A and B are shown apart, each in its own frame.
Chain A
Amino acid sequence: AQSVTQPDIHITVSEGASLELRCNYSYGATPYLFWYVQSPGQGLQLLLKYFSGDTLVQGIKGFEAEFKRSQSSFNLRKPSVHWSDAAEYFCAVSFGGYNKLIFGAGTRLAVHP
């Protein structure tokens, strides 16, 4: 069965430090991969997505993610974190013919000044 794993439940970084959030998926083929961000009390906003082509994709708010087929991973990175990046981040996989999403459990990011 398809699944998405985000190994880190909570991550705390200092403002200005670099960030990497991990995501691994289990799927029979190359899936469509997404990163969403959820600010407190808000809905989900798309940061970036990948389904083909260049394995390094750029998103909004200075985020990027790299698809590694050999590791079944799609890790999210940001070179310098801002306090406003504190939120919960979800990795998701789209499968099947109806664009359904399977989400990871999420990683909650805290940013220290």
Chain B
Amino acid sequence: DAGVTQSPTHLIKTRGQQVTLRCSPKSGHDTVSWYQQALGQGPQFIFQYYEEEERQRGNFPDRFSGHQFPNYSSELNVNALLLGDSALYLCASSFYTGLAGPTDTQYFGPGTRLTVL
């Protein structure tokens, strides 16, 4: 059973550039959430996609945008990169049941480490 996969593993960009990160959810999952984890900090919620729409959004600027495809995979795009965007970007997938329970919990991928110079 394939877990959550993310690509690329590492990425180095310069300030002002744009970046696209990719995520494939765990088999059977239909919901994808993105988190940013700065070094030594806990993950912070960016946004969540379900049925190809952004359902929830955290406190991140519009430079952060995303997309979900019909096969449930997702992309995170960040424009006009800043030094402060350097972080581990985590994708988490879950299965939306409409009910609370263990099947609704989120499983994380290994992350993409973005360095902005």
A pairs with B = no
Q: Which residues of A contact B (CB under 8 A)?
A: none
